A = this chain, B = another copy of it.
Amino acid sequence: MPRDEIPPGTLHLLILKTLARRGELHGYQIARTIQQNSEDVLQVEEGSLYPALQRMLLKGWVKAHWGTTDENRRARFYRLTPAGRKQLQLEQSQFERVVRAITRVIQTA
């Protein structure tokens, strides 16, 4: 029951932000980058990552093209669209707003 990590709704935000900072990345890189930046607290499962990327493609927040990695492997590279940037700002401010609200409830003595 203790919904282990990555609260539903925040994965998009994490991906958007990672792409915004790093430019163009493929799926596997995105997952590992998030994991590293969170100091191994957040583990992005592949079964969550790829569906999320599909959703984001459909929404037009990211674009993708096939290419090859440094190690000569085939991979799909993603980058933000302008709509994705807008969405990032929206989701980030929503996240902060909600976290502040929850924190108020928790800390109100």
Task: Point out residues on A near B: beta carbons under 8 Å.
Answer: 1-3, 5-10, 13-14, 17-18, 21, 34, 37-39, 41-42, 59, 90-92, 94-95, 97-102, 104-106, 108-109
Residue from B41, B97, B100 within 8 A of A98 (CB atoms): B41
User: Of all chain B residues, which has the CB nearest A99?
Assistant: B99
Q: Is the CB of B94 within 8 A of A14?
A: no
Q: Which of A21, A41, A90, A101 counts the most chain B CB atoms within 10 A?
A: A101
17 A–B pairs (Cβ distance < 8 Å), ordered by A: A1-B59, A2-B94, A3-B9, A7-B7, A7-B8, A7-B9, A10-B102, A18-B105, A21-B108, A34-B105, A38-B102, A38-B105, A39-B101, A39-B104, A41-B100, A42-B101, A95-B106
Residues of B within 8 A of A102 (CB): 10, 13-14, 38, 42, 95
Q: How many monomers of this chain does the complex have? A: 2
